[in-house]
Amino acid sequence: MEPKRKAPASPAAREASPEPYPTHASPSPAQCLAVRDALLGFHGFPEEFAPFRRLRLGGSGDSPPPLPPTVLDGLVTTLLSQNTTEAISRRAFASLKAAFPSWDQVVDEEGTRLEDAIRCGGLAATKAARIRAMLRGVRERRGKICLEYLRELSVDEVKRELSQFKGIGPKTVACVLMFYLQKDDFPVDTHVLRITKAMGWVPVTASREKAYIHLNSKIPDDLKFDLNCLIVTHGKLCQTCAKKMGGEKSKVPNAACPLASYYRVGEKLQQ
C-alpha cells in the first residue's frame, strides 16, 4: 500500500526560499521514482524507519495505526541523535525519561542531572543546554511544555516555530517534520548530500542548505519519505557510497551497488 502520488508543493503553496539552482533540471520525478524503486528492491524498506512508515500509511490491513510519539519526544530524540548513532541516541533518551518523569523537572533542575542522564549520547553539556533552553522557551511562549499544536500548522509555520530555538537547525526541523509530524519534507544529512551530489541531483559545490532547498523543490512529495530513508540506509551500508569508518567492512559489495549507473550519469552532468 502506497500513499497517493502528489507533485512537489508549488511555490504559491509554500513560502520556500528561492530555488538556488534554477537551471539544474535534476532530479526529475522519473529519476526519483527509479532510484526509489532500485533501492527498495535492493534493501527492502529499512526496519529502522518502518514504524514511521506505518504511521504515514495509517496502519496496515485490519491493524489500527500505531500511536505516534509526541512531537516533543521526537524533537528531543532528534536533538540527542546529533553526532551519534540511532541506537545510542535512543539509549540517551530512555535515560533522560527515566531520570525526569516530567519536562518541567528538566527545566527547573539547576544541577547536572540532565547532562549526566544523556552523557552516553556524547556532547552532553551542549545537548543538555539546548534541550533545557528549548523546553524553557516552549513553556514561556505556550504556558506549558507541549508541542502537539504543531500538528495543525503548515510546513513553513512549523519551520518558523522551531527555528526560534538555538541549536535547532534546518536538518533537525526537517527530521521532525518528516518523522514526527508526517509532513512531506526531505532532510539532507551527510549521506543524502554525498549520494545526491554523486548522482548529479545537486551541483558538486552545493552546501547542505542549498541542496535541501533544491531537492525539496524537485522530489515529488509522495516519494520524499521512502527515498530519504532508503538513501540514508544505502549511504550507511554501501562501501561505494559510505565514508570508511574505522576500517569497518561494508555490508554491500562494490559491484552490487544499485546506484552505480546513476553515478556514471552524475559524473557526466558534473563535467
Catalytic residues: 171
- For residue 107, report the phi and psi dihedrals to the nearest 5 degrees: -65, -40
DSSP string, the chain: --PPP-PPPPTTTS-PPPPS-TT--PSPHHHHHHHHHHHHHHH-S-GGGHHHHHHHHT-STTSPPPPPPPHHHHHHHHHHTTTS-HHHHHHHHHHHHHH-SSHHHHHH--SSHHHHHTGGGS-HHHHHHHHHHHHHHHHHHHSSS--GGGGGS-HHHHHHHHTTSTT--HHHHHHIIIIIS--------HHHHHHHHHTTSS-TT--HHHHHHHHHHHS-HHHHHHHHHHHHHHHHHBTTTSPP-TTPPPSB-GGG-TTHHHHHHHHHHH-
**252 beta partners:** 238
CB burial class (10 A; 0-12, 13-18, 19+) of residue 167? middle
CA–CA separation, 38 vs 268, rounded Å? 20
